[in-house]
């Protein structure tokens, strides 16, 4: 499969996950209102977890978009830092990798 096809699919997947996450806090907020303190605390923890998940997803989305940009520029698969080709195995594991293992 073409890298851009894989990356486009990954980007859509991440956007869907983010949309799902941003939908959740509003619901948690309305449910937690008026509940016991203990429940409110666990919901606050859930929300924190959602925020860190969201940050991780956003970071990955940024990487995926960057990698797609490199496809357009014709430098996909080449390390941004040292200019060496990124090993195929790494690209299979992380198609959005823009750096080699050494510089990653
Ligand atoms: Zn490198």
pLDDT tens string 55-90:
999 999 999 999 999 999 999 999 999 999 999 999
**pLDDT band of 93, cuts 50, 70, 90:** very high
In a domain, 54, yes or no: yes
In a domain, 99, yes or no: no
In a domain, 68, yes or no: yes
In a domain, 103, yes or no: no
In a domain, 83, yes or no: no
In a domain, 90, yes or no: no
pLDDT tens profile 16-64: 999 988 876 555 555 555 555 566 677 777 878 888 999 999 999 999 9
Count of structural domains, the chain: 1
CA of 14 to the centre of ligand 1 (A): 26
Burial annotation 41-64 (CB, 10 A radius, 16+ → b, else e):
eebeeeeeebeeebeebeebbebb
| pLDDT the model gives residue 80 | 93
Question: Distance between CA 17 and CA 54 in Å, rounded?
Answer: 9
CA of 98 to the centre of ligand 1 (A): 9
**pLDDT band of 1, cuts 50, 70, 90:** confident
The conformation of residue 85, written as its DSSP 8-state character, comes to: B
CA of 88 to the centre of ligand 1 (A): 14
Question: Distance between CA 86 and CA 76 in Å, rounded?
Answer: 9
Per the structure, the complete domain to which residue 33 belongs is given by: 3-76
In a domain, 65, yes or no: yes
CA of 38 to the centre of ligand 1 (A): 49
Within 10 angstroms of residue 7's Cβ, the number of other Cβ atoms is 22
């Amino acid at each position: 499969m073409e890298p851009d096809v894989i990356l486009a699919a990954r980007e859509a997947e991440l956007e869907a996950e983010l949309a799902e996450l941003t939908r959740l806090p509003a619901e948690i907020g309305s449910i937690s209102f008026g509940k016991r303190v203990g429940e409110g605390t666990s919901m606050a923890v859930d929300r924190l977890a959602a925020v860190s998940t969201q940050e991780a997803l956003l970071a990955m989305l940024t990487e995926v978009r960057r990698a797609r940009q490199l496809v357009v520029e014709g430098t996909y698969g080449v390390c941004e830092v040292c200019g060496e080709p990124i090993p195929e195995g790494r690209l299979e594991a992380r198609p959005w990798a823009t750096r080699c293992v050494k510089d990653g």
